Amino acid sequence: MAWLHTWVGLWFSWLLFAVFLTGSLAVFSEAITHWMTPEHHAAEAQAAQQTSAPVNRERRLELAVQYMTRHHPGAGMWEIWPVDRFHDNGLVAYWFDKNGEYADAELDPDTGEELAEDAHGAARATIGGTHFVDFHYTLHTDPVGLWIVAFAAMAMLVAMVSGVVTHKRIFKDFFTFRARKGQRSWLDAHNATAVLTLPFQFMIVYTGIVISSVSLMPAPMVAAYGSGMQASRQYLTELLGEDKPAPTGTPLAVPALEPLVARAEQMIGQSARAIVINNPEDGAMRIGVYGWNEDATTYRSISSTTGMVEFSGATGDVLRMRTPGSVHGGNASLTRQVMSDLHMVKFGGLAMKWLYFLCGLAGAAMMGTGAVLFIVKRRTKMGNEFGAATARVYRLIEGLNVAALAGLAIACIAYLWANRLLPVSLPQRAGWEVRVFFIVWALTLAHAWLCTPRRAWIGQLGLLAALCLLLPVLSLVTLGDHPLAQIGRGDWESAGVELTAMATGLAAAWAAIRSVSYTHLTLPTNREV
């Protein structure tokens, strides 16, 4: 069992460290996206000051319907957001294009005309914090990456169970930390981070596997519904209890939406977020009104679903209603929703996000300390596990340790630096930000193998500290912005990104300084450090 824990834990620790680190960053993906789109900050700040200004929602809904009638009459679904209270108070329309993909257009709230992409000023193209979300789930190689992450998650379950079985004193040792004791210190750190976050890790790994179950085990769905996008939509429609009748071919004008929206708001006790029109301008038309979740709702309910009322487009009768937090489709649908919201921290507000963030970092630390512990243990007693190639294999592992732990952190902060340094007008700019992430990560691996391990640790931790601590300086030089100014105007998302980066830089600087005098990072070698 000890051998199983050691080797399963080692070979998957680098990947799981990456998954946990990027998953922790993904918790604040919206804040990161906000920081990476500084051209929108002025418009958002102005909108925040005008939130009390009256909005003629009835007029906005009419303009949106007119736009969709002119430009997308054949779409099977129209979706209208009359007010975006979290951004620029704009009017946005969505629909399914000819390829079945989700498309959108931002409309002028006063005229209903489509706004150009640079209507708020030339904005830098970026995927923002979504990069960390995509990497966390698919390593940017969907669908292959999804399978790799899933197998890694299953391996983590094996490692956690075998770790608890192997270390019979693990819970007792949790309360013991012996500093400057080499292998013992690394083992104590590994045990402490493992026990401290054990329930969280079990929950995250299990829910991650569950919410990906359809992709991982598609055979039952394919057998029942067939393959392809249409089959997947049919499956989700039935799972969620949705009833979308086929078009009748009988023309029917879209009724006035404002009276239906007002009725729905009274019924669900929420302000309207979106109006979804299925089979628009057809006799089978149905109009769904979806609400906004208030903070109080997300605090008391794990399920993040909003209230919803669906009306018949022909008669205005209520066809179905969903209260906030509930779901259609019974227990199976509710279980899926709860599992998803548990994994994606859709409840508990900002405090719960920070708890997930810190627990995710602790989980990453468990992976990192386990990988380092492997090398530390073999420094005292190098076995002959791979015969004559044992030393070369261990040297490979040392390089992977440095690049997978310190190198990945450098790549993450380099991604933020690329957002500020790449020209705004650069073609395929968003793709280049992601390329910088992977290029920098590859360079850290090359550096780890070209240098002695100890020097690689010191160099990469020092570089990480510098990049993190200088991030506010970068913003000051490129944008004239800094944390004090951000706090002064109430932009806590931008300030949070830069202050968290600085805290990370201080931790990395401390680790680099300790590494200078630390003698237990690497295996004995004939090379000079």
Q: Count the Cβ atoms, other than its own, within 10 Å of residue 388.
A: 7
Give the residue extent of every domain in the chain: 40-107
Residue 247's SS3 state is coil
- Separation of CA 437 from chain center: 16
pLDDT higher than threshold 60 for residue 1? no
Strand-pair partners of 96 = 102
- Listed in sequence order, the residues at least 6 apart from 154 whose beta carbon sits closer than 8 Å to its beta carbon are 209
pLDDT higher than threshold 60 for residue 524? no
- Listed in sequence order, the residues at least 6 apart from 470 whose beta carbon sits closer than 8 Å to its beta carbon are 505
pLDDT higher than threshold 50 for residue 526? no
Q: In what order do the strands lie in the sheet with 286-291?
A: 102-107, 91-96, 77-81, 272-278, 286-291, 308-312, 318-322
Q: Which residue has the higher pLDDT, 129 or 43?
A: 129
Read off the pLDDT of residues 323-334 as tens digits, 9 standing for 90 and up: 888 877 677 778
pLDDT higher than threshold 70 for residue 44? no
Q: Is the pTM of this model over 0.85?
A: no
Task: Write down the pLDDT at residue 305.
Answer: 84
- For residue 515, give Cα distances in angstroms to 264, 454, 509, 521: 62, 8, 10, 8
pLDDT higher than threshold 70 for residue 25? yes
pLDDT higher than threshold 60 for residue 390? yes
Region 116-134: what's the mean pLDDT?
A: 80
Read off the pLDDT of residues 191-201 as tens digits, 9 standing for 90 and up: 677 777 888 98
Q: Mean pLDDT in the chain?
A: 84
Q: Is the distance from CB of 420 to CB of 366 less than 8 angstroms?
A: no
Q: Is the distance from CB of 280 to CB of 79 less than 8 angstroms?
A: no
Q: Count the Cβ atoms, other than its own, within 10 Å of residue 525.
A: 14
Task: Write down the pLDDT at residue 408.
Answer: 97
131-140, 189-198, 214-223, 262-271: least confident range: 189-198
Task: Write down the pLDDT at residue 346.
Answer: 86
Region 15-37: what's the mean pLDDT?
A: 95
Task: Write down the pLDDT at residue 61.
Answer: 95
Could you give phi then psi for residue 172, rounded to 5 degrees?
-70, -45
Task: Write down the pLDDT at residue 411.
Answer: 98
- Give percent above pLDDT 70 in the chain: 80
pLDDT higher than threshold 50 for residue 85? yes
Read off the pLDDT of residues 247-299 as tens digits, 9 standing for 90 and up: 898 999 999 999 999 999 999 999 999 999 999 999 999 999 999 887 666 66
Region 297-316: what's the mean pLDDT?
A: 84
